[in-house]
Amino acid sequence: MVEDASQGISFVCNNIAEYGGDPNRIYIMGQSAGAHIAACTLLEQAIKEAGEGESTSWSVSQIKAYFGLSGGIMEGEQSLQRFSPEVMVQDPNIRNAVALLPPFILFHGNADYSIPSDASKSFADTLQRVGVKAESILYEGKTHTDVFVQDPMRGGKDEMFEDLVTKIHAGDSEALAKDAVAPPRKRLVPEIMLKLARSVSPF
């Protein structure tokens, strides 16, 4: 999965300009297991770049920031050393690789019972201790899916989306000016469908 993710990132980094994208403004975001896989992919790429003779098709330096949403760490004694980003970044043998990582911004609802928000808070604290620019942003009363499924569907205030855009547009006066006059975001689905979804959703 990490290799697949790396290949996907490589394609974006090497082809984004052909599709009208800005190769200097690439961000990576993953949710839940995707957040874990994306973090593993960035760390593995950084380890390759910090080593000798390893060929790479993209560079961690091309990534402006990593956004992890409702992510966790790999559990199990035999897996932690290889697939837990939080454990791996504390290894003094890869200090040079850790120094290459982009900023990490971790979003999490504090009512998430699938992956407790403490996972993001702990990971951000660990990253900060080893010198990576990192922060965790917690949302009161939000579940594992509220911040990226239910909130956009309901319309109105979408805290995570607003925080995400603020991070991406920071320092970009033109983008910030457009944000200031943008119309309110509309609900993605009619109210009747929301009621139906709530009646059958396990969340």
Our answer to whether residue 112 is catalytic in this structure is yes
Residue of 6, 70, 108, 112 marked catalytic: 112
Helix (H) or strand (E) holding 11: helix 2-15
- Of 86, 78, 154, residue with least CA distance to 115: 86
Residue of 6, 108, 136, 144 marked catalytic: 144
Helices (H) and strands (E) in the chain, counts: 10, 4
Asked if 42 and 60 count as a contact pair (C-beta separation under 8 A), the reply is yes
Our answer to whether residue 118 is catalytic in this structure is no
Our answer to whether residue 169 is catalytic in this structure is no
Catalytic residue ranges = 32, 112, 144
